[in-house]
Amino acid sequence: MVEWRERHIGGKNFVLLLSFFVGCFSAFAAILLKSFIHLIQYVVETHLIADERTWWYLITPMIGITLAALFVRYVVRDDISHGITKILYAISQRKSIIKAHNMWSSIVGSGLTIGFGGSVGAEAPIVLTGAAIGSNLAKAFRLDQKTMMLMIGCGAAGAIGGIFKAPIAGLVFTLEVLMMDITMTSVAPLLISSVTATAISYIATGTEPMFPLDTYDAFSVSRIPWYLLLGAVCGFASLYFTRGMNRLERLMKRHVRSIGMKILVGGVTLSILIFLFPPLYGEGYDVITQLINGNSISAVENSPFANSQWLTANGRWMIVFYFVAIILLKIVASVATNGGGGVGGIFAPSLFMGALVGFVTARVLNLTGILVPETNFSLVGMAGLMSGVMHAPLTGIFLIAELTGGYHLFMPLMIVSVISFLTIMLFEPHSLYAMRLAQKGELLTHNKDRNVLTLLKMDNVLETDFITILPEMTLGELVKVISESKRNIFPVIDHEGHLKGVLLLDEVRNIMFQPRLYNRFTVGQLMTSPPAVLPFDMPMERVMEKFEDTGAWNLPVVDKDRRYLGFVSKSKIFNSYRHVLVHFSEE
């Protein structure tokens, strides 16, 4: 089949054709996941929670987390959490290979988690599913890594377009969050995948937006200052979301290790939170729909704290306090879900939290006498949180516009998204997705120079043709080694291979032709310490910083036990840099 394709279909035409099929398969995966979630939710909510047996809130989330954790542990036998981070890692490593099981495992895992009430979203798992489809189709047809990376982007764009019915957001998300350096010729396949997936989703589920907007207030210039305020509030809320979730994840990972304890701690925490604050149940999309359509009372009526006083003027502050508590606890519920063994992403939590932040900001302004539309603020608040959490203002703008049909609110969407993004950038340079990779020096960015250094690995530049010498060798023995070497630097190691120092030819040139000194000096007396020693796992950007700091042209490399591995030269890095840069910039 591969040979037939190579003979009959040109490379560029085949990429366009393959992007169409990637869009189709991504849409089918998105529809399958949504149907699976809705089926479980229908059974749970219709037969249990709908009968006012709210104590089931204490049980169903635990069931979902347990089933998902057991599925991942004993069926998948691989970590399928943090889907977007996995995609970024695949791209950053320049391999663009995503395991085949990700084409279906995230659907099952997230379906079980969210269907039973897990407080996470299905979007990141379906993006990973779409990216895995693109990666594995490209791999099956033996396409090069650059095309494989493009197919990963097509799968992600198709997944966003399919699950949200948002073709522009699918394209923009891929360009802004995933594809770090892309040319105009690459945009066409992304468009094909995104539009194809959206069209299939329209056919299967109708053309209505995900959050239909029944009423709204027209944009008013006089409200720009309050939208600026909302943008800043969303920026700080995004910072809380990003850092809080990251720290809670690390805390749970550090202190809760066994699968049984993870299920117990995560399940119990989530169940109690949902019982006390029912809006934390599931993705929270029903609450979002109620808020953007001015029906905030319906969003709290199932709460054990709700009472008739909340409908009065004096009780309106209680709704504010209640929603503030939910905003603060949302990250706890999401971390409890994923940390307990569930599978889900942060798309839905960021949208949910954004709607609440927008509503609370508007309600506080209204209660203090400044009249603003709560529906508009709830809607644009979603864009603000998404822009801040993902560091993707364009994605926030277009996604919310397409999700709600609120194209008439483009101005407030842009204002809030940009201000939120600028606010969080003052404190946090990386999104929640990219933070883990950035800490390891494995993240690609829009900076091409930094990208090339990220793509360079120590394996690519390590030189091992240096002759090693021992400290006890005499000058006479050293002269024999020098006569056989083509290098002017010699690593000095002990009998276990540990690096003790280096010996430069220039340091012994003035005595190496004096035989009377051959037995007087040893290598241990003549060797010097290198300007710096590089660990094998050091990112190339840090390696270049070491060269700049020391002014050296050659530096030794050691493993974690300080055993000598070889040398890295600045000239070798420059040659490899030029090679990767040419490949990285090719059409």
Per-residue pLDDT of the chain (587 residues; tens, 9 = 90+): 555 555 556 567 888 899 999 999 999 999 999 999 999 988 887 776 655 556 777 788 889 999 999 999 899 988 888 778 778 777 766 567 888 899 999 999 999 999 998 999 988 899 999 999 999 998 888 887 778 888 999 999 999 999 999 999 999 998 888 765 566 667 889 999 999 999 999 999 988 888 887 777 888 888 999 999 999 999 999 999 999 998 998 898 888 888 889 999 999 999 999 888 888 988 989 899 888 888 877 777 767 666 656 555 556 778 888 899 999 999 999 999 999 889 998 889 999 999 999 999 999 999 898 989 999 999 999 999 999 999 999 999 999 999 888 788 899 999 999 999 999 999 988 787 777 665 555 555 444 555 555 556 777 788 888 989 999 999 888 888 888 888 888 999 998 899 999 988 887 887 888 888 888 888 888 888 888 999 988 877 788 888 888 888 889 999 988 899 999 888 777 766 656 555 545 54
Taking the CA atoms of 83, 87, 88 and 93 in sequence, report the sign of the dihedral they define: positive
CA distance 327 to 415: 22
- Is 300 in contact with 322 (CB distance < 8 Å)? yes
Name the helix (H) or strand (E) containing 418.
Answer: helix 410-425
Which phi-psi region, left, alpha or beta, contains residue 206 (left: φ > 0; alpha: ψ -120 to 50)?
left
Q: What is the DSSP string of 109-172?
A: HHHHHHHTT-SSBSHHHHHHHHHHHHHHHHHHTT--HHHHHHHHHHHHHHHHHHHH--HHHHHH
What is d(CA 205, CA 165) in angstroms, rounded to the nearest whole number? 9
Strand partners, 503: 490
C-alpha neighbours within 13 Å on the C-beta side of residue 204: 19
Residue 168 to residue 177: CA distance in whole angstroms: 14
What domains sit in the chain, N to C, each tagged with a CATH number? 2-205 (1.10.3080.10), 221-447 (1.10.3080.10), 450-585 (3.10.580.10)
Q: Hey, how many other C-beta atoms are within 10 angstroms of the C-beta on 424?
A: 27
* Residue 337, token pair as written in the block: 């879900």
Number of residues in the chain: 587
Beta-bridge partners for 567 = 463, 556
Measure the CA–CA gap between 401 and 376, rounded to whole angstroms. Answer: 12
Rg of the chain, C-alpha, whole Å: 29
- Contact (CB, 8 A) for 230 and 384: yes
Dist. CA 555–CA 532, nearest whole Å: 6
Sign (positive or negative) of CA dihedral 464, 469, 475, 480: negative
Q: Which amino acid is at 361?
A: T
Global confidence as pTM: 0.77
- Burial of 11 per CB tally in 10 Å (0-12, 13-18, 19+): exposed
Q: For 420, list phi and psi in degrees, rounded to 5.
A: -60, -45
List the end-to-end C-alpha distance of the chain, in Å, as a whole number: 26
Q: How far apart are CA 459 and CA 27, in angstroms?
A: 39
**DSSP 8-state code for residue 568:** E
